[in-house]
Structure 1
């Protein structure tokens, strides 16, 4: 027997209403109708006949339920309803009763706390007790939407305590609080979403900037690490060269001592062998003398052979090996001295190379230049002319010292610049703070805001109170100036010789600092030079 789902709707349709049977009954002629339909039909007719075959009944037939058709019609209705109902999609509320494929819920019951599809909702539309239940539009997670205290739907929002409440809550604990429907509060919060989204985007941007900052730090750290390894390798190679040179010199010293001993021994052996040869020849001559028959010849030969050939007294002669005691120690002392010198030189080379990484652009500010100074158009050179130029008065201009400041100032971090001083006989060079007195004759010392060195023929010093005399440097051509604002450090370097000149430590920089140049004699200009990285 075919199942109801394989039949069409016509097989279960009432001939009167043309809808699926509802409480089907059958007439004596065998046709099926809805109880309501056939009852209404006969109520309106004078005779009782079948609407299908027109068979006339003398009395009103007793209607009996067609149990088989009723069950099959009910199954057909259920199958049709299930087919017609949509399955639940993402974001939609599913039916809590469906066990197989979950269908989309059409209502939620606030009493049962269950959501129903159209099929499973049918008892709530038919059973008297279930009809009293409160049905609402489908809601997900119903238990979370119910007030724990009053078992009612949370459909209001308390702005005082920022919590969800039900209608009964407004008559109790929240009676004096401003309470609004959820929709109204949603509209308020919706209006705030724009600002919240902007704040979130701003936070995201800040986090991305921080990520980039961290990545840049890692890149810089890797770069520094690579440079450190390279510098270390350079230092190690230099030290290895020193050790190899020491090894070569040490071996040569020992070998020369050994060769000296060997030569002495060889010379003595050669001399001894020569004496042996001479004595051997004399012995041979003496053996032949008895064979001489001529008395005159015998006596003549005897006179020349009676005395042995001249020889050295070898009793006191000996080979004295060279002493190696102290050779290694002396050589090691020399190596230590060489290594210390080389290490000092390498430290200064590495230090200069590192500070050169902080090179900054420096151009001279004509508004600060003393009237006796002449600046190049690019602001990189300053020369002392001796003649006073007619310049407009400017509070920033030096009027006593022939100085000039840079346009750039530095308040934090590190910076480095180089100045060519070749062929310039008298000059000041360093940095000065912004508030220095530019009009009076004052000591150019750290106390007055100046950190600088002075070169004057046979005088080289750091200007302090008292002054710090510095060793004169032959052919000083270029000076490097390094400042660490955070550490309070000002250092000067002989760039060409790659040697540290002097460092002022423990400085306090409470103002912006400016590079300061001050040529005093009529000679070559002071020139701000680009930095060539030290190898």
Structure 2
């Protein structure tokens, strides 16, 4: 029960009432009472995670450890503080994840738009090839038809000419048959005795043009054209896709072998043929005519182009930062090299086993190559 100050006085004076446990006034006191024993809930059972009264500890929770509410409150308060500190971090992490998801969706939209654009170009070009082959096929059929029509037209003209000649002869014969002048009859008959020259038309016929194999030849030509165009278009599409990872690189003079000359902008290198006294540098190559770029890449994808001119041999690729630059070594991934090598009209991808590559047509010093590698080690553009 709740008491005012006047009714509370006996609890502070009468010996029997002094034994009652008093607490500060509170709202909804009935919710703080044990429903079973009608005693104040002043203990906590960690086993069942419920608040209990003193009688509960000797009945339903007899075998359970219990602690005062204050002790459990302090424990839970500490846990709550930890949760309170963790929740904002969790919220921030989820906001960051939302941003990542949105960024991915935006990137996906851009990639989809780019792919649709590239695909549209490819399919438009392929449709153009199909239409061109269709037009060529139609033209071939029309030309065959025109040839047949021309043949028939010439035959008809010839037949009409013979009909006209024979009709004239028939008129002359009929007219002569009615003359009674013996001399005229005999003189004219001599000229009518031999018929005019005519063709034997029994074996002459106009056959419809044959289109056997025409469609197949057109389809074969279409297939060949499409294959060529698809390869070209796909190569162009791949190149465009790869070029999005383009990086701007410049050559590092501290790494250049003594025989090499670099341009001021670091974009060109030439072989002087003889070495030049240069200060010793741990980065510099000694035994190989190599030079690295200033820029390095530790992860991700990157793309750069190199133009090779007037060279009978060249090397191009990427290397690990940790390669030996003073001694001699084999150029393999195990030693830190991923290299395209051109020598004697032959281009080789240096690996554990050499792989021979060829540019469009044949291998050449100016060949067009794309080298794609996904490397987990630290790399320097070479």
Q: In the alignment, what sits opposite 1:405? A: 292
Q: In the alignment, what sits opposite 2:259? A: 372
Going from structure 1 to structure 2, the CA distance change for 1:480 and 1:427 (only over 3 Å counts) comes to same
Residues 417, 482 of structure 1: 8 Å contact kept? no
Residues 275, 311 of structure 1: 8 Å contact kept? yes
Q: Helix, strand or coil: the match of 1:386?
A: coil
Structure 1 residue 206 displacement after superposition: 2.2
Structure 1 residue 436 displacement after superposition: 2.5
CA distance in 2, matches of 1:454, 1:415: 20
Of residues 66, 90, 102, the one that matches 1:203 is: 90
Q: In the alignment, what sits opposite 2:307? A: 420
CA distance in 1, matches of 2:187, 2:169: 15
CA distance in 2, matches of 1:382, 1:458: 22
CA distance in 2, matches of 1:192, 1:153: 22
Going from structure 1 to structure 2, the CA distance change for 1:313 and 1:168 (only over 3 Å counts) comes to closer
Instruction: Give TM-score, length-normalised by structure 2.
Output: 0.78
Q: In the alignment, what sits opposite 2:358? A: 470
CA distance in 1, matches of 2:9, 2:66: 40
Structure 1 residue 372 displacement after superposition: 1.7
Q: Which has the higher helix share?
A: 2
Q: In the alignment, what sits opposite 1:484? A: 374
1:125 matched to 2:125? The reply is: no
Q: In the alignment, what sits opposite 2:213? A: 326
Instruction: Give TM-score, length-normalised by structure 1.
Output: 0.58
Residues 444, 463 of structure 1: 8 Å contact kept? yes
CA distance in 2, matches of 1:264, 1:364: 73
Residues 313, 365 of structure 2: 8 Å contact kept? no
Structure 1 residue 275 displacement after superposition: 0.8
1:272 matched to 2:159? The reply is: yes
Residues 420, 479 of structure 1: 8 Å contact kept? no
Q: Helix, strand or coil: the match of 1:267?
A: helix
Residues 345, 364 of structure 2: 8 Å contact kept? no
Q: In the alignment, what sits opposite 2:191? A: 304
Q: Helix, strand or coil: the match of 2:194?
A: coil
CA distance in 1, matches of 2:79, 2:199: 125
RMSD: 4.3
CA distance in 1, matches of 2:215, 2:6: 111
Count of paired positions: 369
Going from structure 1 to structure 2, the CA distance change for 1:449 and 1:275 (only over 3 Å counts) comes to same
Residues 250, 328 of structure 1: 8 Å contact kept? yes
Q: Which moved more, 1:254-263 or 1:340-349?
A: 340-349
Larger Rg: 1
Q: What does the per-residue CA deviation read over 1:346-370, in whole Å, with 9 as the maximum and x for residues that have no partner?
A: 3222222222222234333332221
Structure 1 residue 417 displacement after superposition: 1.8
Unaligned runs of 5+ in 1: 1-108, 110-115, 486-508, 517-535
Q: Helix, strand or coil: the match of 1:286?
A: helix
Residues 312, 365 of structure 2: 8 Å contact kept? no
CA distance in 2, matches of 1:191, 1:258: 94
CA distance in 2, matches of 1:216, 1:228: 18
Q: Which has the higher strand share?
A: 1
Of residues 513, 516, 519, the one that matches 2:379 is: 513
Unaligned runs of 5+ in 2: none
Going from structure 1 to structure 2, the CA distance change for 1:184 and 1:122 (only over 3 Å counts) comes to closer
Going from structure 1 to structure 2, the CA distance change for 1:393 and 1:198 (only over 3 Å counts) comes to farther
Q: In the alignment, what sits opposite 1:431? A: 318
Q: What does the per-residue CA deviation read over 1:454-490, in whole Å, with 9 as the maximum and x for residues that have no partner?
A: 23463333334345152525783765443323xxxxx
